[in-house]
Structures are given as C-alpha cells and as structure tokens.
Structure 1
Amino acid sequence: MSINKLSSKELIIRGKWILTMSDQGDIKDGAIHILKGKIKNVSSYSDLKQKLPDLEIVGDGTGIVIPGLINAHTHFSEAFIPGMGSEMTLFEWLREIVTPVCNNLNREIAREGTILKVIEMLHSGVTYVNDMFVHSNPNDMASLGVVEGLNHVGIRGCVSYGPEDCPEGVTSINSLKVDKILDEHKELESIVSENNFIDFRLGIGTLLGQTDKLTKESIKLCKKKGWKIHTHMLEAREEIVHSVLRWGCRPLQHAQNIGLLDLDVIAAHMIWTNESDFTMLKKHNVSVVHNPIANMILGSGVCPVQRLRKENVNIGIGTDGTASNDSQNMIESLKLTPMLQKIHHLDPSVMSAVDALKMATIEGAKALGISDIVGSIESGKRADIALFSSTVELATINDPYQQLVFGTSPRSVSDVWVEGVRLICCGKTTTVDETEQVLKTKYISHKLVKDSGLIKKGYSEMFI
C-alpha cells in the first residue's frame, strides 16, 4: 500500500503541550487543525474547539505533541544483522560483518528490511528517514527495494545508494564497475522523481572506499543533474591515517580539493575534526549528522556537537544502521545525544533537552534541506506529527522537554501522522501487519546471515 493512495482526514490533534519547535513557541492545552495533509492552524484547544465544533479530536489533552522526529542517517541494508560485532572497531566490523552481507543483498531483502525497520522507527515517533543503502550485488539494483518499502508503509524519506568499489582493508567484496554504479544512481533517482514523499541523494559510502575514478564521475554527475550528496566523514581516527597516506591530506581537505564540498553535502559522524575542518564546514555549508549510539558501541569517539552548533553548522541526529546500533529506536538516540555531551564535557549544562529535540526536528530538517515543509508545527507545513500519550512515563509532566527526551520510550508514542495520514493509531500500525512482517523476515534474515557466512564464523546462533 502506498501513502499516495491514502487520504488524510480533517481533524484536530489535542495535547497538554504542543511543542511546536517554531517561533510561535510552546502551547499549553493546545491543538492543531489538520486539513488536506497540512497544518491549517495551531492554537489553544478551546479556540479551535469553538471554531470547529464538529471535527474529530485525537488526544485527550494529557499528552505531548511534537513534530515528527527526523532520523537523519541510517542504513536499511543492515536491517537483518543486529547483535553482531559490538566489541569490534569500525574497520574490523566493516570487514567481518557488513562486507559479507553486502555481497548477498537483493531488492527483496531491501524491501522487507526497510518495512521492518520503518515500523520500528514509526513506533518511536519518526516521520522522515534519510537512508544510505550499501550493497555490492552488481546484478541486482537492490537499493530500489528501499523505495518500495518506504512506499508500502507510507513514511517520508530520502534514499541513496552508497557503493564502495575499493574498500580500504577489505578484499572479499564483489567487484563493482563504475558504469553499473552510476546506472543504479540514475535509476534510483528516476524512480524517486515520480514520488512526492521520497527525496534522492547520491551516496558516497566513504571517499576511502571508492576509487578516485568513481568519486570523480559521481561528482561530475551530481553537478550535471543538480543532485545532493549523502556520505560519511571523519568517523574513525584510522580514516585520517589512510587519507594522508593515499592523498597527502586529511579527508575533508581532500573532499574540498576534488570539488565534493561545492555540492550540497550531508555527512554522518564528523568526529575527528580539527580547526581547518570547522573552517571548511562553515565555508561550504556542509551539514552533519550525529549518531551517538553507533559511535559509542564501536568506540569511535564523540562528535563535537556543541562546537558545531556554535559554528552554526546544521546538525541532526541519526540512529545509524541496525548493525552498529542494534536498534532503530530514535528516542534512544534523542536521549543519548545530550547525555553523551554532558559526560564528555563533565558539564550538565552543556546541552539541554530543548537543544536535543531541536536537533531531532527543525535542525535535522534544516540539515536535510526540508525545513520548508517539515521539522516544526506551524501553519502551511506538512502534517507530520507524533503524539505521546499519558502513559506511566508521562503521568507527571513538570517539564515537557525533559520528560520527553529523558523519560519516554516507544510505549508512549500512541499516534503518528505523515501528511495527515495516521500511520500509527493507538499504538498500532495502520498500513502494514506487524506480526506478518516479523514472521516473513525471520526466514529472510536466517538465509542472509547463513549465505554471508556469519553463522559459520560464529557471529550468529540463529536457527529456525
């Protein structure tokens, strides 16, 4: 089922708190009027109830209403490989876990994995996801399955294909031809261009993972087509060493030298920065995505979030992929973003719950270039909204921001709308059968890890 075939209802969404993330500020005992998939008005509940007495009302006035969360970086290609490699470094994990799986991905796996993980995201209040699908199956344009999966559930998102034709330190990856890679980029963009709910970016897994020829041709294609870029940058210290050995400079400097930063770029991680990196990020208006959980699990380091925000670099929050996070629960990433900064700086005031929620909504939208349509609750924007109901977690609300960021979980997410379509209703998905999807993906997951040699290697004890 495609969201484009569904219709939104005119209704009122009510909350004890409406956290608009806009200049209008927070509204206590507020409400939102939804009409034709857009936000028509945001006001007090009493005002809207008086003006629109006959409309359906969702929410009993005890919960918290926010803009839908924006998961600014993940990998649906990792949907079926959680729980592996948590004691490995980034490069060990890529070599041992991710690369063997990349060789065996296909469009069906991409579609079903996307559906599975989108369900998980919706339950944590996500309404927009920025994905990079990484695979090395030259005979199957697997990334196209992500579009099918997003359409099936009805979430908004951005897709990219992140190929690597010479991954550093990896020798078991399938051979990829530059022409075939460029063909998949073109085909993916072509399909997305027909869809009002999905955006496209050209994916560059890492600069180190690509031949200079592929990177050059990718940049050339983006400049010709006006495409944007989704990549990884400065995730691990080893990147800097390999970059200096290969190009004689740091990764971001190399990106500037070859013209990559002349494009619209969003880069995940950006941990191992120096002063020249900050200068280049500001100069080229590069956006960044912080992925706290994956960075902690792999021991990669701590992103300088506060410095980036101080320098007015647009920065959002991502879960990263299931293989490096083990979850797609965006609320966990939202919570751990300020917590990691507090402990890293030994300063509880370094980052507030308000700052974190901004990053997961309006600032994430700015980073992705979509703040004109989503990221805040204000008249004229798309009705992408999440309602947190009054569960045991929200029985007492002294500060709605602190309670939402530090004290909630998916159990409190009762309803989620995308373009006014109710994808989560009273805690249940409306466009896909969760039980059926779980059963369907068990077999797919087992076959994938078996074919990838992960059971034989001892990384999985899965059985049917």
Structure 2
Amino acid sequence: MNHTTHFDTLIHARWLVTIEKDNEVLEHHTLAIRHDSIVAIVPTADAAEWTADEVVSLSEHVLMPGMVNLHGHSAMTLLRGYADDLSLMDWLQNHIWPAEGQHVNHDFVRDGSLIGMAEMFRSGTTTINDMYFYHQAVAEAAQTAGMRTLVGASILEFPTNYAKNADEYIQRAMAEREAYLNDPLITFTLAPHAPYTVSDDTFKKIVQLSEQHDMLVHCHIHETAQEVSDSLKEHGQRPFARLHNLGVLNDKLIGAHMVHLNDEEINLAARLKVAAAHNPSSNMKLASGIAPIQKMLDAGMTVGIGTDGAASNNKLDMFAETRSAALLAKVGTLNPLAVPAATALRMATLEGAKALHLDDKIGSLKVGKRADLIAIDMGSLETSPTFNVVSHLVYSAGRENVTHTWVNGQCVMRARELTTLDETALKAKAHEWRQRIQ
C-alpha cells in the first residue's frame, strides 16, 4: 500500500466551509488528517482508493474549522445563574467577587474548567482564550480535555484566594507557565483584569514582560460607560488613552468587550493592530451596550467573538454568539447589511485565530494547518431546506447540531459523545459544587 494514501483519519463530508474565502463552500469533499494536521482536501471521488485508521462519513453535514472563543472564564460554569439580572459592578462587587472569595481554589477552577470545556466541545469550540485564577488548574483541565487553551493569568491590585497583590499574581503566573512552554495546546497570556483594577506601574511591568517573553495581553477594556466616566474622574483621561500612554496598545493586546470606543479610538486601535473580543450576549445581559463592530471592521480591526463566562451569559455557545453578533450589528446600526453571515462566521473562527497569532495554525480548513474541526448536521428538520450553507450556519444551526469535534487531530466528541471527558462524572461534580455554594 502506498504510504501517502493511508491516513489517521478520513472525513467525507457533504459540504466543507473553508473560511479561507468568504462563502467558499466545497461540495462532496474529503479531508485527510495525519497526526495533528490537515494533509489533504480533495473531491471525495478522488479519494476513493484512500484508506485510514478511522473513516468518518458525514453525508448531510458541514465540516468547518472549530470555533475560537476569544474571551471566556471557563471555571465560572460553577457560578452559572448564581447572580442574574444585575448591573456589572453590582454583579461583580456584591455577588461574584464575594462568592469567589469564599469558594475559588484549585479544585474549583479545575472542575469548573472541565465542565466548561466539555460544554464548549459540544458547542463546536476548539480553542478558548481563558482568563481566571489558579492557572495550573486551567492547564491541567486543558490537558485532560484536549482543548487548545490560552491560559490567561489574571492580574489585579487587590487580594484574592490566589494572590495578595499584583506582584504575586505575576510571579505565580510566570512560575506556573514554565511547565507548559513546550505543550502544543497550552499557551500562557498576561491578563490584567481591567484598567479600573490595575495600576499604571503594574501595566508597565506587564508591557515589559509581554515584550521580553513574547506573550499576548488579554484585558477587559471599555466594557461599560461607567468605566469610562470613572476613569475621566480619577485619571483625567479615558481608559483607552491611559493604556496608550502606558504602551499597552499594540498587536499583542486583545481587548475584551470594547463596547464604548469612539471613532478616534477605533482608528487608533486599527493603526496599532489591537484586536477586539466581541461578547454580544454578555454585553446585552449586563446592559453594557452595543459594541460598534461594523465600525471596527470598516477601520480594519481584527475582531473575534467570545462567550465571556457562564456567570454572565449563561452558556458557552459560540453558535449563539455568532448569530447574536450578526443580528446585534444590524439592529445597532439600523443597517441589515452590517456583519453579514460570512463575516460573522469568519469572526468566530479565523479572525479569532488571527487575534491570538494562531492564524497560521488554526481558524480555517487548509492543508498544513492543525486539524481543529467540527461537523454540523444539516439533515434535521430545523435546518431544512438548505439553500445557503454559510447563512444556515449563522442563522439556523445551533450547538445541538454539532456532532463531531476534533482538536489537533484528536476526536474529542464523536456522534455527540465526549471521548476525553466523562459527562456523568462532570454532572456529579457540578451538583457537588452547587451544594457547597448555594
């Protein structure tokens, strides 16, 4: 047998949505995986003689790149629904932070992250740009699950269960990072919480560390109008201007939310190649506002999509977020042409990968890229008839239609069954934590 025509996995699909070009749909194509990578994409008829250790036939499915969740707090699945229908600062200061102070530890973060990663696999997410505490616990969960994970090392000025001040947050993060420098799925980032919880001196240290170690920076920015007005009172300038003066704004920065950017700030972000993580459901639920996404795109910014945490969403569902991103842009601008389906889908995949400096590895179906893939069943009544595959993926399909998920060539969900995680055990863990927290 010719070695070149035997693969680890062959996937025959009704449609392939590559994301390489807007609205590019390949019909009746086969994708071949060897080790961790895509090694061939050909018409299925041309693969008739090919063999593989596993052959997956998806006669009514779309095969597409896995979703990139550009902003999340995986462990906060254990606080899902704990404090709903509140404003951001009330939610944080009077409910979430006290609950975290009482309950968050290594086990909380590991268990909550595993539950979150299982939910994300079942929702078509293959990469999470996370931000929380107990970073080793997040990394352990990622290794167990097989999730491509950016471990965001949270940094604040005030004490939590994890550290007592900004210097200790940084020291612990950099020490824990050492064990994962060669892990293909785990990358540590610096995650200053927000301009209102991090000092000028700490931001300067973060910029130095980012440059020295080539680390991305992940930060909540301009989430609410109050954040902007408070900064004007305290610092005499808007948060974005303050961050610019401190050297934080550059191509390594991912700004979560960025709801309240004005036109001048959008143009500055585009020029400095700052990426935005749009979180439509969280922004709506906390009444933070409607982010000017179409203006960001028009200016040339890289804009991805995130779920935020399950405590402020309340689900880690990138299909729901992608649909909301498209619809919210339209109602926010009163323009039905804003953020069309193909743009929204690219934001959820390749643009998120670009923001993470991973677009050479993930975010689209292309020979040589890592095999981070999902399959979506279009054979259900709810997705029939299928006139436009890309439109259907954004406006009609949901996470319940995701049947298979691969990360780095490994099938982590097959026919809706998780392969690396025990769903029953995770449900039991969630019940245990509910008993403790309630």
Question: Helix, strand or coil: the match of 2:358?
Answer: coil
Deviates more, 1:224-233 or 1:428-437: 224-233
Report deviation, 1:54: 6.2
Report deviation, 1:204: 0.6
1:33–1:48 CA contact under 8 A, matched in 2? no
Does 2:271 match 1:283? yes
Structure 2: how far apart are the matches of 1:177 and 1:54? 53
Does 2:287 match 1:299? yes
Partner of 1:39: 38
C-alpha spacing 1:101/1:190, structure 2 compared with 1 (3 Å): farther
C-alpha distance after superposition, 1:307-327 (max 9, x if no partner): 111111001000001111011
1:384–1:417 CA contact under 8 A, matched in 2? yes
Question: Helix, strand or coil: the match of 1:14?
Answer: strand
Which of 58, 71, 78 is residue 76 of structure 2 equivalent to?
Answer: 78
Partner of 2:140: 148
Give, as a single letter, the amino acid of the residue that structure 2 aligns with 1:312: G
Deviates more, 1:294-303 or 1:87-96: 87-96
Structure 2: how far apart are the matches of 1:199 and 1:175? 21
Partner of 2:405: 416
Partner of 1:4: none
Partner of 1:138: none
Question: Helix, strand or coil: the match of 1:60?
Answer: strand
Give, as a single letter, the amino acid of the residue that structure 2 aligns with 1:217: K
2:71–2:128 CA contact under 8 A, matched in 1? yes
Structure 1: how far apart are the matches of 2:141 and 2:9? 28
Question: Helix, strand or coil: the match of 1:10?
Answer: strand
Q: How does 1:241-320 map to 2 (within 5 A)?
A: 241-262=229-250, 264-320=252-308
C-alpha distance after superposition, 1:315-348 (max 9, x if no partner): 1000001111011111111111101112222222
C-alpha distance after superposition, 1:8-56 (max 9, x if no partner): 9612112211000114932011121111221111121111224x15664
- The runs of 5 or more residues in structure 1 that have no matched partner are 1-7, 136-141, 450-461
Question: Helix, strand or coil: the match of 1:80?
Answer: helix
Structure 1: how far apart are the matches of 2:94 and 2:223? 18
Partner of 2:156: 164
Partner of 1:332: 320
Report deviation, 1:364: 1.1
Report deviation, 1:445: 3.4
1:292–1:337 CA contact under 8 A, matched in 2? yes
Report deviation, 1:162: 1.5
Structure 1: how far apart are the matches of 2:264 and 2:392? 38
Larger strand proportion, structure 1 or 2? 2
Partner of 2:3: none
Structure 2: how far apart are the matches of 1:210 and 1:69? 30
What is the aligned residue count? 430
Give, as a single letter, the amino acid of the residue that structure 2 aligns with 1:123: R
2:66–2:374 CA contact under 8 A, matched in 1? yes
Question: Helix, strand or coil: the match of 1:208?
Answer: coil
Structure 2: how far apart are the matches of 1:54 and 1:181? 47
User: RMSD of aligned C-alpha atoms?
Assistant: 2.0
Partner of 1:102: 100
C-alpha spacing 1:214/1:36, structure 2 compared with 1 (3 Å): same
Which of 57, 80, 89 is residue 87 of structure 2 equivalent to?
Answer: 89
Give, as a single letter, the amino acid of the residue that structure 1 aligns with 2:284: M
Does 2:230 match 1:231? no
- The runs of 5 or more residues in structure 2 that have no matched partner are 1-5
1:127–1:384 CA contact under 8 A, matched in 2? yes
Give, as a single letter, the amino acid of the residue that structure 1 aligns with 2:229: V
Report deviation, 1:77: 3.8
Partner of 1:126: 125
Give, as a single letter, the amino acid of the residue that structure 2 aligns with 1:69: M
C-alpha spacing 1:378/1:419, structure 2 compared with 1 (3 Å): same
So what's the TM-score if we normalise by structure 1?
0.88
Does 2:112 match 1:113? yes
Question: Helix, strand or coil: the match of 1:210?
Answer: coil
Question: Helix, strand or coil: the match of 1:180?
Answer: helix
2:19–2:350 CA contact under 8 A, matched in 1? yes
Question: Helix, strand or coil: the match of 1:232?
Answer: strand
C-alpha spacing 1:9/1:202, structure 2 compared with 1 (3 Å): farther
